[in-house]
């Protein structure tokens, strides 16, 4: 659960204007995002992994398609799988500039 007044909640809400689609790994994560103020229709639940679906691309920036990854550097989050996903997307969208952006870190107890 993310506290609504926490720094992580404020950061998510600040960057929300740049986000077209959130991918949550469970309904619990989706519900947490909704509780802090994210619109429910912007959140897609994909359980434990990446699943390619062209419908996830809602907004293209000119000739660019940018995917994002936020998570810890550990086997459970598997950032290498995200990098493989980007390589596959680059082969599929040969006429586009496909990039991946990664943010690493963890949420610390703010108390």
DSSP-derived secondary structure for 60-95: -BTTEEEEEEEE-SSTTT-HHHHHHHHHHHHHHTTT
The pair of structure tokens assigned to 52 is 């390619």
Q: What is the DSSP-derived secondary structure letter of residue 40?
A: G
**3-class secondary structure, 79:** helix
Tens place of pLDDT per residue across the chain (111 aa)? 778 888 888 889 998 998 888 888 888 889 999 999 999 999 988 876 555 566 655 555 678 888 888 777 777 777 888 888 889 889 988 888 888 888 776 655 454
Q: How far apart, in whole angstroms, are the C-alpha atoms of residue 68 and residue 59?
A: 13
pTM > 0.75: no
């Amino acid at each position: 659960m993310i506290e609504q007044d926490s720094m992580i909640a404020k950061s998510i809400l600040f960057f929300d204007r740049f986000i077209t689609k959130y991918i949550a790994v469970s309904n619990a994560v989706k519900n947490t995002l909704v509780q802090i103020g994210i619109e429910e229709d912007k959140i897609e639940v994909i359980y434990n992994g990446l699943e390619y679906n062209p419908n996830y691309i809602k907004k293209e920036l000119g000739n660019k398609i940018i995917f994002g990854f936020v998570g810890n550097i550990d086997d459970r989050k598997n950032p290498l799988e995200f990098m493989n996903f980007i390589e596959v997307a680059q082969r599929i969208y040969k006429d586009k500039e496909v990039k991946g952006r990664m943010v690493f870190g963890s949420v610390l107890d703010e108390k």
